[in-house]
């Protein structure tokens, strides 16, 4: 059985003062191994640690941003075994044994990935906050559909929000990377 501690608190609910008992599990940490950007990493994490927190806080790879934190905006998009995922909605323990790529892992020997280059050449960013997630989502998109139409790019990036609303140049960047511009 899990080790359970009983905690309690008072709370006001609809005008009534109520006493709540909260059963709070105190499970142990879990040891995980995740290959991040080609490097084997090991962690000893609380089960509730999110993958994005593991990457940012345990590994210090802070390019991956937390935006909405509710799996809507896509700022936290990384690749898990080569596919785009939202790292704010995956537990680090779920990623145990997998290979994760963040935007820091794209460049080789100081040469940017073609998608990064395309974003730079086409001014595919304004404030830049959504950009790491956009780039990772866009690479995954082209991995699945190497020759997308503009409409397919727009639908393929439906999971990534740019609050500068700079979608036009982002779409142009992806099309340029696909050799369509």
Partner 1 sequence: MIPAPFDYKRASSAAEAISLISEYGEDAKFLAGGHSLLPLMKLRLASPAVLIDIARITDLSYIKDAGDHIAIGALTRHHDVEYSSVLKEHVPLLAHAAGFVGDPQIRHRGTIGGSIAHADPASDLPATTLALGATYVVQGPNGTREIAASNFYKGFLESDLAADEMLTEIRIPKMNGAGWSFQKFNRRAQDWAIVGVAAWRRGSESGVALVNMDNTPVLATSVSAALASGGSIADASQKAATEAHPSGDNNATAEYRTHLAKVLVRRALETASA
Q: Which residues bind partner 1 (CB under 8 A)?
A: 1-2, 4, 23-27, 30, 46-50, 53, 69-72, 74, 77, 80, 83-86, 89-91, 93-94, 137, 140-141, 144, 155-156, 158-160
Rounded to an integer, what distance in angstroms lies between the CA atom of residue 165 and that of residue 11? Answer: 41
CB of 111 to partner 1, least distance (A): 27
Half-sphere exposure of 64 (CA within 13 A, CB side): 34
CB of 126 to partner 1, least distance (A): 20
CB of 44 to partner 1, least distance (A): 13
Question: Which tokens in the block code for residue 103?
Answer: 């935007």
Walk across the sheet containing 39-45 and list its strands: 39-45, 30-36, 99-101, 77-80, 83-86
φ, ψ of residue 43 to 5 degrees: the values are: -135, 155
CB of 50 to partner 1, least distance (A): 7
Select 70 or 165, whichever has its Cβ closest to partner 1.
Answer: 70
φ, ψ of residue 144 to 5 degrees: the values are: -95, -25
Select 47 or 114, whichever has its Cβ closest to partner 1.
Answer: 47
Select 10 or 110, whichever has its Cβ closest to partner 1.
Answer: 10
Select 48 or 123, whichever has its Cβ closest to partner 1.
Answer: 48
CB of 127 to partner 1, least distance (A): 20
Task: Give the Å distances, CA to CA, from 161 to 15, 73, 124, 128.
Answer: 39, 5, 13, 12
Select 34 or 50, whichever has its Cβ closest to partner 1.
Answer: 50
């Amino acid at each position: 059985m899990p080790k359970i501690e009983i905690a309690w608190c008072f709370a006001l609910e609809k005008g009534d003062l109520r006493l709540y008992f909260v059963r709070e599990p105190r499970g142990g940490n879990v040891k995980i191994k995740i290959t991040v950007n080609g490097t084997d990493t090991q962690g000893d994490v609380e089960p509730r640690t999110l993958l994005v927190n593991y990457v940012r806080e345990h590994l210090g790879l802070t390019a991956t941003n937390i935006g909405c934190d509710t799996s809507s905006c896509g700022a936290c998009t990384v690749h898990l075994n080569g596919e785009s995922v939202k790292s704010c909605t995956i537990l680090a323990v779920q990623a145990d044994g997998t290979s994760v790529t963040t935007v820091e892992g794209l460049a080789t020997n100081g040469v940017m990935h073609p998608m990064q280059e395309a974003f730079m050449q086409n001014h595919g960013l304004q404030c830049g906050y959504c950009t790491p997630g956009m780039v990772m989502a866009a690479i995954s998109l082209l991995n699945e559909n190497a020759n997308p139409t503009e409409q397919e790019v727009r639908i393929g990036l439906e999971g990534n929000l740019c609050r500068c609303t700079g979608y036009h140049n982002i779409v142009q960047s992806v099309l340029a990377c696909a050799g369509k511009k």
